[in-house]
Amino acid sequence: MLRLGNMENTRADRLGALAAHVIEQALASSLSWDEAIIAFGIAAKAIAAQAAVEGTGNLDACVAHAANRLQYGMDQGPDVLKAYLR
């Protein structure tokens, strides 16, 4: 089971399942790993832009928060996803 801070188990499970799905899609895309990482950054910025549209904050604040959360994800060991990968 994925453990991230004090996140409740059901949310951690959804996060792990989404991350595993994203990995599977990236591997199936025939992009290089470098290109797939660029796509993740673009997707993170697009999600942040939508959060700003929905009133979560201004665009710059949402993009900065997304960058911080991406770094938080990068700081985790990849072994946390082993249970979700087939």
| Measured distance CA(56)–CA(1) in Å, rounded | 30
The one-digit pLDDT tens for each residue of the chain (86 residues) are 556 666 777 887 888 888 889 989 999 999 999 999 999 999 999 999 999 999 999 999 999 999 999 998 888 877 767 666 65
- Entry pTM: 0.78
DSSP 31-53: --HHHHHHHHHHHHHHHHHHHHH
Q: pLDDT value at position 47? A: 97
For residue 29 the two structure tokens come to 């895309």
For residue 38 the two structure tokens come to 């660029």
Contact 38, 9 (CB under 8 A): no
Q: pLDDT value at position 79? A: 74
